[in-house]
Each structure stands twice: as C-alpha cells, then as structure tokens.
Amino acid sequence: MASASQMKDPLLVGKAIRAQLEHEIPKDLPLERDFREGTDYTITDHVNQLHEQLCPDPRTLQLFNGLVKHLHAFCRETRPSHAEWVRTVEFLTRAGKESTDFKNEFVLLSDCLGISALLDELNHPKPPGCTDSCEEGPFLTKDAPEKPSGSSIASPDTVGEPLFFKATIKNTKGEGIKGAKAEVWQADGDGIYDVQYPGRDVANDRARIVAEPSGDFCYRGKLPTAYGIPDDGPVGDMLHALGRHPHRSSHIHFMLTAPGYDDLTSALYPSHSPFLGTDPVFATKKSLVCQLTEERDPAKWTEMGFKDGEVNTGRVWVWTYDFVLPTVEEVEELKRKLQ
C-alpha cells in the first residue's frame, strides 16, 4: 500500500495526479492476491471486496455490489464474445448521444425492458382490490389547467370522436374519497399529444380535475387512438431485433392524489384497441382494460354536457371506471410484508 509521501513522489506519480493530491489523498489498498475465474477468488469477489473497503455509503455499496454480481452472472451465463460486447457498448453509446430533452433513449430502454414497470411495482405495491399503477410516460406537463368535474378538456377543433369519461375515487372500504384530484392527459384521435404539435402554446387534452366530495368526477373530451413510441434510435433497433413493435395501445393517463392516500399514476385502455398484449413499455395490465359503450341518444349527450351540434359522429363513447386508492399506511405495511 502506497504512503502519502510515495503518492507525491515525482519519480512515482505524474504531474496531474500530484496536483489532485494537494486537495485529497485517496485511500490505497495493498494487492494481496490474484483473482482468477474458476477459483475461490474471482474478479467478482475482487471488485466487491474493493467496494466494501472503500465505499463510505451503505446504500451505494448495496446497489453497486448487486449490480456487479448480476452483470458478472450474466456474462458467465451467456458468455458474450468481445465483438458482441463491443456492439453492446456501441449501443449504449448511441443511446446517450441520441438522447434529447424530448426523447431519452435510456428512459425508453428502461421502459422497453420492463425495468420501469418493475420499479413501479416495487415502490408502489397495491393491496388487493386497489387500482394498478404504471409509469407516467414522457408527456406529462406542468401547465394543465384546473377544472371542475364535468368540464371539457379538449378544444373544439381537437381531432377525434366525442368521449364522456366518468369515474369514482374510493378507498379500500368502498367509501368515496373527499378532497381527491385527478390529473388527466391523453393523445387525441390521431394518437398525437398536444406537446407534439408545432407551435403549441395552450394545454389541450389535459386537465387537473377536482372530484366531487363523493369522489366522483367526469369530463368530456376525445377518444384517444394508438400511437408509436420513438423507434428511430437504438431502442427501436433493439425492438426490431427482438421481433417487437413500437406501438402503444390507446389509453388515458391519470395521476390521482388525495390527502392521506398513496398517489396513483396509472392509465386505462379501451378493450377495442390493438397492441394490448404487446405493449412495448409493458404498461398495459388486464385490470386496466375497460369495455366502452356507445351512446347514440342525443338527449343523453345533452345530459353529459355536450352542446347542440358538438356531436356530429352519431355517437358518444362512454368510458367508466372505479379507482381504488390505498392509504399511505396500507402501502407501507404491505412493503414491510414483501421485504
């Protein structure tokens, strides 16, 4: 193990390191044994032992030791060639270079390998009967207007067929939750979000809706359609290599909040949509798939809040759902049981 004086000896250490050592002397360790595959001391043991002696934070140590353990196990199981590993590194390099504020390839990679969905389940386990969650996706904004229940969230010129959505927000006892709010955002009838339109300066197809004291809320809008995640980068190439497609089912995003209850970020899917079983980001769950109905009675349209002439398709799609939220205490208790 080198001493502090050795580290500053110009015969042993270069100029750049000597300059750094003016501020901090790193902890050095002796090299006491060789590591070799097939023995009782492998590179995995060596890396983790080094971290255990040097890493000051227990949680960081736990995360990196687990990462090293499983990455090394992957290599031993699959035995990638040097050429295959070079291609892997090139793939990750592309993911970094091609990421932007609006298309993060690493986030897409996490989503498309099911990691985002897994982390969501681990961090927000649901007691039986509660609404399942999923990732929020890339199109949540901070400028959604707050509106009362019964409002329209779509501008008059929005593409798509008329939709009436109605829901309740209840607790695990079946009681309506007072003080609940629902943030809603969705694509339009062309499968396009407002932020994807050039020159967008006003929020559309999104709102923060204040539920009634009973936990009920509703809104008028447009029926969303399926759309594709970005597939012009390395993640798209990965999906193609795996025989998968980049197309997401039709859906509506929700973020529900209420005092004392675990926040819910989820999405609902109409049963008529394609791609329910092959969602590229694994956000579809059977419990979130809904059967929609068609209302063709103009008198009912008026009751829903649609104005004369606003419905010109001969029908309004009616979508209903009952959300169930657990309390913060119920979620924490479940976490303790699952650990």
The pLDDT tens digits for 197-246 are: 998 989 999 999 999 999 999 999 999 999 999 899 999 999 999 999 99
* C-beta atoms surrounding 276 within 10 Å: 19
335 and 181 Cβ atoms separated by less than 8 Å: no
- pTM of this prediction? 0.85
160 and 223 Cβ atoms separated by less than 8 Å: yes
Q: Residue 7: what pLDDT?
A: 76
Q: What is the mean pLDDT of the chain?
A: 93
138 confidence band (pLDDT: 50, 70, 90): confident
The DSSP secondary-structure symbol of 176 reads B
With H, G, I as helix, E, B as strand and everything else as coil, classify residue 294: strand
181 and 208 Cβ atoms separated by less than 8 Å: yes
The mean pLDDT value for 116-126 works out to 89
Q: Residue 1: what pLDDT?
A: 61
Q: Residue 81: what pLDDT?
A: 96
Q: Residue 32: what pLDDT?
A: 87
pLDDT at 5 over 80: no
Q: Residue 2: what pLDDT?
A: 64
162 and 249 Cβ atoms separated by less than 8 Å: no
The pLDDT tens digits for 84-111 are: 999 999 999 999 999 987 788 999 999 9
With H, G, I as helix, E, B as strand and everything else as coil, classify residue 122: helix
Q: Residue 10: what pLDDT?
A: 84
11 confidence band (pLDDT: 50, 70, 90): confident
Strand order in the sheet with 151-152: 151-152, 216-222, 162-171, 316-325, 293-295
pLDDT at 184 over 90: yes
| Cross-strand partners of 269 | 289
Q: Which domains does the chain have, with CATH numbers?
A: 4-74 (no CATH), 112-338 (2.60.130.10)
Q: Residue 279: what pLDDT?
A: 94
* C-beta atoms surrounding 213 within 10 Å: 10
Q: Residue 28: what pLDDT?
A: 78
The mean pLDDT value for 172-193 works out to 96
DSSP string, 182-250: EEEEE--TTS--GGGSTT--S--SEEEEEPPTTSEEEEEEE----EE---SSHHHHHHHHTT---EEPP
pLDDT at 13 over 80: no
